[in-house]
């Protein structure tokens, strides 16, 4: 079952910029998010310490997301390179 995926404006802008610079990297992230949406029920989601967010890795990029199980939606909050993603989260 594929969950609905919603992107924050920030995550959407990052993907849009990345598509112009590195279409292959952007497609890899999109493929990974699609995989997450299809397999969310069987994955072990571990929260980032001190937050409600989970982290998905795609090469050098991190996708920080929330999963609203009641609404069955995955909310993509932040997409960025490793250190920048965690800094943007305030960690």
Question: What does the pLDDT look like over 53-85, one tens digit per residue?
Answer: 999 999 999 999 999 989 999 999 999 999 999
d(CA 60, CA 43): 21
Residue 14: exposure state from Cβ atoms within 10 A (0-12, 13-18, ≥19):
buried
d(CA 64, CA 19): 18
Per the CB < 8 A criterion, the answer to whether 16 and 22 are in contact is no
Q: pLDDT by residue (tens digit) across 12-59?
A: 999 999 999 999 999 999 999 999 999 998 998 889 998 999 999 999
The total of structural domains in the chain comes to: 1
d(CA 63, CA 79): 5
Quote the domain boundaries for residue 9: 4-89
Q: What is the pTM of this model?
A: 0.92
CATH number at residue 64: 3.30.2310.20
CA trace torsion 27, 48, 44, 56 (10° rounding): 10
């Amino acid at each position: 079952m594929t969950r609905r995926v919603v992107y924050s404006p920030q995550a959407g802008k990052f993907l849009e910029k990345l598509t112009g610079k590195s279409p292959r990297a952007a497609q890899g992230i999109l493929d990974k998010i699609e995989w997450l949406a299809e397999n969310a029920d069987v994955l072990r989601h571990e929260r980032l310490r001190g937050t409600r967010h989970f982290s998905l890795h795609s090469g050098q990029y991190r996708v920080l997301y929330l999963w609203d199980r009641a609404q069955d939606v995955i909310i993509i909050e932040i997409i960025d390179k490793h250190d920048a993603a965690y800094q943007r989260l305030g960690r």
